[in-house]
């Protein structure tokens, strides 16, 4: 069944009603998404297998972003985040892009790269060429390590050999390029790099030190573009404000860090919800932002002929569907099911689309009413709850917190005390 990501009034439902509505809209069976709502009974045992010295688990809210159309297909997008306004902003901007057909994407083949560092080479330039001469042998050796990956159509595809001049040393660095198919790929490429190392050392005439993937992942880019409707954004001045905000980020690394953080609010939330490695994706993204030698904006904005905002984003996207927490964590499995993606490349495309929507959402708020207004409602609820408000008290405290100006814990406590005194 084709998914319909338009869920009018979704935000007004209770969490349980939202789960049923999302299950129905995505054509899944009742219960398919239940792990998103309640942790599996054996979650501690699962966690105990995932990392060391486990004592418990930490719950992060999972919301569903609506309205996403990506390459003509609708998606309901699970997002795991502790930050208010993120899911709402992504959903809103997806509906603004939807007016112009949604998001258009492309993704490179899932090529990951591992590095083998060779030290103590007497003739680095000649060693570099000796390694290239042995490429076929090295690729065959790499592929012997992972027959399943080769059977699935992946495997080692090529090498690159670089000479890295470091302070006081020259390293010969072999890159092994591997098509990791639907895996994130760290395990596959690290195993291959370790297996190649003795032969690489022999050919290069040096000693191998590191054998590990690079999180730069610039062979595995995902790209997205979308047109955001001028009027739905709030008019020409808001569009102008967004473009000025982008130019600021493009020119200034202090602003670029925050601008890109807004993009990562969306990206990391989907990466985390699907059990992928958030730090790997973040490292790759920030490295890409500095690819020119100067840290700058990951996204770009232009104003189209018709006055609408045209946004583009390109980010390395090392995410997978097989292996790791994506397969072992029940909530991550349910998140992938909800998304309905069938390849790592398709997941990468969804992730970058959310990143672009998130970026526009933040810039729109900054260019229009300012970021605090949107943040404040949920923030006020958190503050009210932290001050001890329960049930209906929460909304009563929020209303008075918001009218009184500053949303602060001490004010919430005082308001709550007044409310309770008035009732007793």
Q: Which of 108, 160, 252, 261 is catalytic?
A: 261
Give the other-Cβ count within 10 Å of 327's Cβ.
13
Decide if 77 contacts 339 (C-beta within 8 A).
Answer: yes
| Nearest C-alpha neighbor of 359 from the set 50, 96, 28, 166 | 96
Question: Which one among 20, 258, 342, 372 touches ligand MEV, defined by CB under 6 A?
Answer: 258
Minimum CB distance to ligand MEV smaller for 6 or for 375: 375
Minimum CB distance to ligand MEV smaller for 69 or for 268: 268
DSSP per residue, 101-133: T-EEEEE---EEEEEEEEE--S-HHHHHHHHHH
Give the other-Cβ count within 10 Å of 350's Cβ.
27
Contact segment (CB under 6 A) with ligand MEV among 48-56, 280-288, 307-315, 362-370 equals 362-370
Q: Decide if 337 is catalytic.
A: no
Minimum CB distance to ligand MEV smaller for 130 or for 255: 255
Separation between Cα atoms, residue 413 and residue 419, nearest integer Å: 10
Separation between Cα atoms, residue 156 and residue 173, nearest integer Å: 17
Q: Decide if 375 is catalytic.
A: yes
Sign of CA dihedral 30, 33, 37, 42: positive
Site for ligand MEV in 34-73 (CB under 6 A): none
User: Quick check: helix, strand or coil at residue 164?
Assistant: strand
Q: Which of 182, 277, 314, 393 is catalytic?
A: 277
Tokens standing for residue 4: 């319909």
The verdict on 362 binding ligand MEV (CB under 6 A) reads: yes
The verdict on 261 binding ligand MEV (CB under 6 A) reads: yes
In angstroms, give the least distance from the CB of 45 to ligand MEV: 35
The verdict on 145 binding ligand MEV (CB under 6 A) reads: no
Nearest-CB residue to ligand MEV? Answer: 262
In angstroms, give the least distance from the CB of 381 to ligand MEV: 17
Kindly report the backbone phi and psi dihedral angles of residue 211, in degrees, each rounded to the nearest multiple of 5, phi listed first: -140, 95
In angstroms, give the least distance from the CB of 369 to ligand MEV: 12
| Nearest C-alpha neighbor of 360 from the set 95, 11, 73 | 95
Minimum CB distance to ligand MEV smaller for 379 or for 400: 379
Q: Which of 73, 216, 300, 375 is catalytic?
A: 375
The verdict on 175 binding ligand MEV (CB under 6 A) reads: no
Minimum CB distance to ligand MEV smaller for 23 or for 81: 81
| Nearest C-alpha neighbor of 227 from the set 300, 308, 297, 288 | 308
Q: Decide if 144 is catalytic.
A: no
The verdict on 286 binding ligand MEV (CB under 6 A) reads: no
Q: How many CA atoms lie within 13 A of 91 on its CB side?
A: 19
The verdict on 89 binding ligand MEV (CB under 6 A) reads: no
Q: Diameter of the chain by CA atoms?
A: 87
Decide if 181 contacts 320 (C-beta within 8 A).
Answer: no
Tokens standing for residue 197: 């190392």
Separation between Cα atoms, residue 267 and residue 206, nearest integer Å: 41
Size of the site for ligand MEV (CB under 6 A): 10
In angstroms, give the least distance from the CB of 267 to ligand MEV: 12
In angstroms, give the least distance from the CB of 364 to ligand MEV: 10
Site for ligand MEV in 368-407 (CB under 6 A): 371
Contact segment (CB under 6 A) with ligand MEV among 102-110, 190-198, 341-349, 360-368 equals 360-368
The verdict on 262 binding ligand MEV (CB under 6 A) reads: yes
| Nearest C-alpha neighbor of 362 from the set 229, 231, 246 | 246
Tokens standing for residue 65: 């972003």
Q: Which of 32, 83, 218, 229 is catalytic?
A: 83
In angstroms, give the least distance from the CB of 280 to ligand MEV: 21
The verdict on 300 binding ligand MEV (CB under 6 A) reads: no
In angstroms, give the least distance from the CB of 314 to ligand MEV: 18
Contact segment (CB under 6 A) with ligand MEV among 18-26, 254-262, 313-321, 339-347 equals 254-262
Separation between Cα atoms, residue 37 and residue 338, nearest integer Å: 13
Separation between Cα atoms, residue 115 and residue 190, nearest integer Å: 9
Q: Decide if 261 is catalytic.
A: yes
If you count them, how many residues does the chain have? 424
The verdict on 259 binding ligand MEV (CB under 6 A) reads: yes
DSSP element (H, E) containing 178: strand 169-179
Minimum CB distance to ligand MEV smaller for 40 or for 366: 366
Separation between Cα atoms, residue 37 and residue 323, nearest integer Å: 23
In angstroms, give the least distance from the CB of 77 to ligand MEV: 18
Binding site for ligand MEV (CB under 6 A): 83, 258-259, 261-262, 265, 362-363, 366, 371
- Active-site residue numbers? 83, 261, 277, 375
């Amino acid at each position: 069944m084709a998914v319909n990501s338009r869920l009018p009034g979704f935000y007004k439902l209770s969490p349980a009603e939202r789960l049923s509505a999302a299950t129905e809209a995505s054509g899944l069976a009742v219960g398919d998404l239940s792990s998103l709502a309640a942790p599996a009974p054996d979650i501690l045992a699962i966690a105990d297998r995932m990392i060391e010295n486990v004592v418990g688990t930490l719950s992060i809210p999972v919301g569903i972003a609506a309205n996403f159309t990506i390459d003509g297909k609708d998606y309901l997008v699970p997002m795991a985040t502790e930050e208010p306004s993120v899911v709402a902003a992504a959903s809103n901007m997806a509906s603004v892009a939807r007016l112009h057909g949604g998001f258009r994407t492309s993704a490179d083949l899932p090529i990951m790269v591992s590095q083998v560092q060779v030290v103590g080479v007497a003739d680095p330039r000649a060693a570099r060429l000796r390694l290239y001469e042995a490429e076929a042998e090295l690729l065959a050796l790499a592929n012997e390590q992972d027959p399943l990956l080769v059977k699935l159509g992946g495997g080692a595809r090529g090498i690159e050999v670089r000479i890295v001049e470091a302070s006081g040393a020259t390293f010969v660095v072999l890159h092994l390029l591997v098509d990791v198919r639907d895996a994130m790929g760290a395990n596959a490429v690290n195993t291959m790099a370790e297996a190649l190392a003795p032969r690489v050392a022999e050919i290069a005439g040096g000693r191998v030190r590191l054998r590990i993937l690079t999180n730069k992942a610039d062979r595995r880019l995902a790209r997205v573009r979308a047109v955001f409707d001028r009027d739905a954004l709030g008019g020409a001045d808001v569009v102008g404000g967004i473009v000025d905000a982008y130019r600021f980020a493009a020119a200034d690394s202090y602003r670029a860090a925050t601008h890109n953080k807004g993009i990562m609010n969306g990206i990391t939330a989907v990466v985390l919800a699907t059990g992928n490695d958030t730090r790997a994706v973040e490292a790759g993204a920030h490295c890409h932002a500095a690819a020119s030698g100067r840290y700058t904006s990951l996204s770009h904005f232009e104003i189209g002929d018709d006055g609408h905002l045209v946004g583009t984003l390109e980010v390395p996207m090392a995410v997978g569907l097989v292996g790791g927490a994506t397969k072992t964590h029940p909530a991550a499995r349910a998140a992938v099911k909800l998304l309905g993606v069938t390849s790592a490349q398709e997941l990468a495309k969804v992730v970058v689309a959310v990143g672009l929507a998130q970026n526009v959402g933040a810039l729109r708020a900054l260019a229009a009413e300012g970021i605090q207004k949107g943040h404040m409602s949920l923030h006020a609820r958190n503050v009210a709850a932290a001050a001890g408000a329960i049930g209906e008290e929460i909304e009563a405290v929020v209303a008075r917190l918001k009218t009184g100006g500053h949303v602060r814990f001490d004010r919430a406590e005082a308001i709550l005390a007044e409310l309770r005194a008035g009732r007793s």
